[in-house]
Amino acid sequence: MSGTITFPKAWYFVGFNSTNTTLTRKSKVYDADLVTADLLFAFNTRVGERVMRPDWGCAIWDYFMEPMTPILHDQIIAEATRICESDSRVNVQSITVYTIQNGIIIEFQLFYVPFNVYNTFTVTFEDAQTAYFSGSQGQ
């Protein structure tokens, strides 16, 4: 038997995600996409929703109906920083909070440590029910 041997790509991180599997038909997520999915999962989970982990989750959902004051702004940044720092695969470079008509937009500049990549990660909280993200990778 002759020929070349093809080795599979080495992945740093491999995980599963059920988000958009009906559209993409893929449930495996790799590397930076997995880190982003894990961060979004943390932001989408309210404190107390996780079984056996009542202190895990995002407290930003509790701030939703409050008026945006400088103190609340600082609390949102502190909570967003806490969530990002709980994942050792990213370092927070900066966080900016914007208010929109029915919600909050939090924009992060993150450094993905294992990949030596900077990324803009944006979480949008709308109507106290929905959070979604967008992002772009850079070098």
More confident residue, 122 or 2: 122
What would the pLDDT profile of 14-44 be if each residue is shown by its tens digit? 555 555 555 555 566 656 677 788 888 899 8
What does the pLDDT read at residue 40? 86
More confident residue, 3 or 119: 119
More confident residue, 3 or 98: 98
What would the pLDDT profile of 105-127 be if each residue is shown by its tens digit? 999 999 988 888 898 989 998 87
Q: Where in the chain are the domains?
A: 14-138
Per DSSP (E only), the strands in 17-116 are: 28-30, 90-100, 103-112
Do the strands 130-138 and 117-126 form a parallel or antiparallel pair, or are they unpaired?
antiparallel
What would the pLDDT profile of 57-104 be if each residue is shown by its tens digit? 999 998 888 889 999 999 999 999 999 999 998 999 999 999 988 889
Distance CA(93)–CA(114), nearest Å, equals 15
Distance CA(110)–CA(129), nearest Å, equals 25
What does the pLDDT read at residue 130? 73
Q: What topology does CATH give the domain 14-138?
A: Nuclear Transport Factor 2; Chain: A, (3.10.450)
